[in-house]
Amino acid sequence: MALWRSGAYDFQLVLVTEDGRVLVTDGLADKFQQEDGSGYAYETISGNPA
């Protein structure tokens, strides 16, 4: 995450966690939709840490 947030390289991320979350960067967020029954919770992550 630190490398992506640093802005040194231009790329997007999709991360799947063990607890069933799909984390997508804000540049890809419009490409993903939550589907009922998928078992995954989709979250958008920003280049600016909260």
pLDDT, tens only, 1-50: 788 888 888 899 999 999 999 999 999 999 988 889 999 999 999 876 65
* DSSP bridge pairs for 15: 23
| Contacts with 13 (C-beta within 8 Å, 6 or more apart), sequence order | 1, 4, 23, 24, 25, 28, 45
* pLDDT at residue 14 in the model: 95
Q: Taking the domains of the chain in order of start, what are their residue ranges?
A: 2-45
Global confidence as pTM: 0.77
